[in-house]
Amino acid sequence: MPAPISRFLSQKLRFYTFICIALLLFVHGYNLNQTFLQPFTTVQEPLTFTSFFEYFVANGILRFRIPLLFIISGYIYALKDNQGYGTQVKKRAISLLIPYLIWSAIGLAITWLWQQNPVTARAVFESKLDQLGDNRPYAAIGWGGILFRWVAAPIAFQLWFILALFLYDVCYPLIRWLVTKYPIPWFIFTLALWAYELSFLVIDGRGLFFFSIGIWFQKMNVNLERKPKWISMYIAWLLFIGLSVIKTFMAFELDPESKLTYALLSILHSVSVIAGIIAVWYGADRVVKWCMRRPEFVWLTGFSFFIFGLHAPLVVYLTRLFYIFFHTVPNYRLMTYLVVPGIVFVFCVLMGAATRKLVPQLYRWATGGRGFRTGMQ
Amino acid sequence: MKKALGLIGFTLCSFTVLLAQQGFTFNRISTEDGIGLASNVVYATYQDTKGFIWVGTANGLQRFDGSKFIQYSATDPVSHTLPVSDLTQIVPSDNNSLWLSFSLKQEFGIFNLSTFRYTVIPIKPLRQIAPGASFKLWKDSKGQVFLSALNYGILHFDRKRMAFVDDNYFNLPEGYIPTHGNFEDTVKHQYWFTCNKKGLAVYDERTREVYTSDHNPKNIPLLNNRKLTLGASETFIDSKRRQWLFCWTTMQYKFCFDSTGKVLQDTAGLNYNPDYNEMRTPYETRQGVIWVYGVNALYNYDRDTRSFYYYEHGARSPHGIDYQTVFQVMEDHDGSVWLATDNGLYFTSPGSGSNGVVDKLFGEKTGGVEFTDILELKTGQIWLSTWGMGIFTLTRDMKNYEAGIYNNMPSFDDLTTVQYRQTWALYQHTDGRIWIGCQAGHYIIHDPVNGKSRFLTDPVFHQSTIRYITGDKKGNIWLSNMRGDLISYDGKQFRLVQEMGSMITKILIDDEGLIWLSPLGKGLYCLSADGKKVLKRYTATAPDNRLFMNTGRDIDQLNDSVIVFGAGAMNFVNKKSGKVRWLTFNDGLPGNTIQRIRVDSDGYLWMITLNGLCRYNPSTGRITPYGRKDGITVAHRTVEADYFTSTGNLMFAGANALLYFKPSMLRSPQPPDVTITDFKIFNTYIPVDSLLALPRVQLNSGQNSFSIYFAALSYLERDKLTYYYRMTGVDTGWVKADRQWYVNYSLLPPGNYTFSVYCEDIDGLRSNNITQVSIYIKPPFWRTYWFMSTMLFLVALVIYVFHSMRVNRLLAVEKLRNRVARDLHDDMGSTLSTINILSSMAKSRMLTDPIKTGEYLGKISDNSQRMMDAMDDIVWSIKPSNDSMQKIVARMREFATSVLEAKEIEFDFRVDESVFDLTLNMEARRDFFLVFKEAINNAAKYSGASMVVSRIGLHHKRLVLLVEDNGIGFDAESADSGNGLGNMQKRADAMRGRLQFISRPGEGTHVTLNIPVQ
Which run of H or E residues covers position B112?
strand B107-112
Domain-embedded: residue B729? yes
Is A61 part of the contact surface with chain B (CB cutoff 8 Å)? no
Segment B975-1000 mean pLDDT: 81
Which chain A residue lies closest to B697 (C-alpha atoms)?
A255
The answer on B1013 and B895 residing in a single domain is yes
A-B contacts at Cβ under 8 angstroms: 38
**Predicted pLDDT of residue A373:** 61
pLDDT at residue B2 greater than cutoff 50: no
Is B802 part of the contact surface with chain A (CB cutoff 8 Å)? no
Cβ-nearest to B789 among A47, A246, A255: A246
pLDDT band at B1006 (very low <50, low <70, confident <90, very high): very high
Domain-embedded: residue B768? yes
Per-residue pLDDT tens for B229-274? Answer: 778 889 999 999 999 999 888 788 888 999 888 888 888 888 877 7
pLDDT band at B1009 (very low <50, low <70, confident <90, very high): very high
DSSP bridge pairs for B120:
B109
**Predicted pLDDT of residue B763:** 74
Domain-embedded: residue B957? yes
pLDDT at residue B356 greater than cutoff 60: no
- Which domain range does residue B920 map to? 882-1014
Q: What is the mean pLDDT of chain B?
A: 87
Distance CA B727, CA B741 (A): 15
Partners of residue A271 in chain B, C-beta under 8 Å: none
CB contact under 8 A, B695 and A44: yes
Which residue, among B789, B800, B801, would best test binding to A if mutated, counting the most A CBs under 10 Å from its CB?
B789
**Predicted pLDDT of residue B990:** 87
Cβ-nearest to B793 among A246, A252, A254: A246
**Predicted pLDDT of residue B22:** 56
Domain-embedded: residue B706? yes
Is A44 part of the contact surface with chain B (CB cutoff 8 Å)? yes
pLDDT band at B359 (very low <50, low <70, confident <90, very high): low
pLDDT band at B352 (very low <50, low <70, confident <90, very high): low
Higher pLDDT among residues A305 and A203, named by residue = A305
Residue B83, Cβ neighbours under 10 Å: how many? 20
Q: Are B673 and B712 in contact (CB under 8 A)?
A: yes
Segment B845-863 mean pLDDT: 87
Task: Please work out, in degrees rounded to the nearest 5, the angle formed at the alpha carbon of residue A40 by the alpha carbons of A39 and A41.
Answer: 100
Could you tell me what percent of chain B has a pLDDT over 70? 94
pLDDT band at B21 (very low <50, low <70, confident <90, very high): very low
Distance CA A325, CA A120 (A): 11
Partners of residue B779 in chain A, C-beta under 8 Å: 253
Choose the final residue of a domain: B783, B802, B829: B783
Which chain A residue lies closest to B803 (C-alpha atoms)?
A234
- The domain that holds B986 is classified in CATH as 3.30.565.10
Q: What is the phi/psi pair of residue B846, to 5°?
A: -55, -40
Q: Are B177 and B161 in contact (CB under 8 A)?
A: no
Domain count along chain B: 2
pLDDT at residue B20 greater than cutoff 50: no
pLDDT at residue B672 greater than cutoff 50: yes
Residue A55, Cβ neighbours under 10 Å: how many? 25
Which residue, among A243, A245, A247, would best test binding to B if mutated, counting the most B CBs under 10 Å from its CB?
A245
Is B786 part of the contact surface with chain A (CB cutoff 8 Å)? yes
Cβ-nearest to A44 among B696, B784, B793: B696
Segment B29-37 mean pLDDT: 90
Is B696 part of the contact surface with chain A (CB cutoff 8 Å)? yes
**Predicted pLDDT of residue B978:** 57
**Predicted pLDDT of residue A74:** 94
Q: Each residue of A255-286: b (16+ CB within 10 Å) or e?
A: ebeeeebbebbbebbbebbbbbbbbbbbbbee
Give strand ranges (E) for B290-370.
290-295, 297-302, 307-310, 326-331, 337-341, 344-348, 357-361
pLDDT at residue B793 greater than cutoff 90: yes
Segment A287-298 mean pLDDT: 93
Partners of residue B789 in chain A, C-beta under 8 Å: 242, 245-246, 249
Partners of residue B792 in chain A, C-beta under 8 Å: 242
C-alpha gyration radius of chain B: 56
Residue A81, burial from CB neighbour count under 10 angstroms (0-12, 13-18, 19+): middle
pLDDT band at B547 (very low <50, low <70, confident <90, very high): very high
Q: Are A307 and A345 in contact (CB under 8 A)?
A: yes
ipTM of this complex: 0.83
Choose the final residue of a domain: B758, B783, B808: B783
Is A229 part of the contact surface with chain B (CB cutoff 8 Å)? no
Could you tell me what percent of chain A has a pLDDT over 70? 97
Segment B818-829 mean pLDDT: 77
Per-residue pLDDT tens for B466-491? Answer: 999 999 999 999 999 999 999 999 98
pLDDT at residue B979 greater than cutoff 90: no
Segment A70-81 mean pLDDT: 92
Long-range contacts of B699-704 (CB under 8 A, 24+ apart): B699/B775, B699/B776, B699/B777, B699/B778, B700/B777, B700/B778, B701/B750, B701/B777, B701/B778, B701/B779, B701/B780, B701/B783, B703/B777, B704/B745, B704/B746, B704/B747, B704/B748, B704/B749, B704/B750, B704/B777
Higher pLDDT among residues B741 and A176, named by residue = A176
**Predicted pLDDT of residue A169:** 92
- What pTM was computed for the model? 0.63
Domain-embedded: residue B230? no
CB contact under 8 A, A242 and B792: yes
DSSP bridge pairs for B348:
B26
- Judged by average pLDDT, the poorest of A34-38, B20-24, B529-533 is B20-24
**Predicted pLDDT of residue B16:** 40
Q: What is the mean pLDDT of chain A?
A: 90
Per-residue pLDDT tens for A100-153? Answer: 999 999 999 999 999 999 999 999 998 888 878 888 888 888 899 999 999 988
Per-residue pLDDT tens for B87-131? Answer: 999 999 987 899 999 988 899 999 988 778 899 999 999 988 888
Q: Are B197 and B187 in contact (CB under 8 A)?
A: no
Segment B421-431 mean pLDDT: 94
Which chain A residue lies closest to B753 (C-alpha atoms)?
A46
CB contact under 8 A, B785 and A256: no
Q: Are A43 and A32 in contact (CB under 8 A)?
A: yes
Is A53 part of the contact surface with chain B (CB cutoff 8 Å)? no
**Predicted pLDDT of residue A100:** 95
pLDDT at residue A15 greater than cutoff 90: yes
pLDDT at residue B306 greater than cutoff 90: no
Question: Could you tell me which residues come within 8 angstroms of residue A131 by beta carbon, excluding any fewer than 6 positions away?
Answer: A149, A153, A154, A155, A157
Q: What residue ranges do the domains of chain A occupy?
A: 7-367
Per-residue pLDDT tens for A196-227? Answer: 888 766 788 889 999 999 999 999 989 888 88
Distance CA B895, CA A245 (A): 63
Is B792 part of the contact surface with chain A (CB cutoff 8 Å)? yes
Higher pLDDT among residues A52 and B698, named by residue = A52
Higher pLDDT among residues B796 and B980, named by residue = B796
Measured in angstroms, the CA of A41 and the nearest CA of chain B are apart by: 14
Measured in angstroms, the CA of A248 and the nearest CA of chain B are apart by: 8
**Predicted pLDDT of residue A198:** 83
CB contact under 8 A, B778 and A253: yes
Segment B935-964 mean pLDDT: 90
Distance CA A156, CA A152 (A): 11
Collapse the DSSP code of B262 into the 3-class scheme (helix H, G, I; strand E, B; otherwise coil) and give the result: coil
Higher pLDDT among residues B110 and B750, named by residue = B110
For chain B, the helix, strand and coil percentages under 3-state DSSP, each to the nearest 5: 20, 35, 40
CB contact under 8 A, B786 and A253: yes
Which run of H or E residues covers position B991?
none
Segment B181-192 mean pLDDT: 93
**Predicted pLDDT of residue B706:** 92
Partners of residue A47 in chain B, C-beta under 8 Å: 785
pLDDT band at B364 (very low <50, low <70, confident <90, very high): very low
Domain-embedded: residue B731? yes
Which run of H or E residues covers position A16?
helix A7-28
Domain-embedded: residue B137? no
- What totals of helices (H) and strands (E) does chain A contain, helices first? 19, 0
- Judged by average pLDDT, the poorest of B145-154, B352-361, B451-460, B983-992 is B352-361
Q: Are A29 and A323 in contact (CB under 8 A)?
A: no
CA dihedral sign, ordered B972, B974, B980, B984:
positive
- Judged by average pLDDT, the poorest of A299-313, B510-524, B708-722 is B708-722
Higher pLDDT among residues B13 and A284, named by residue = A284
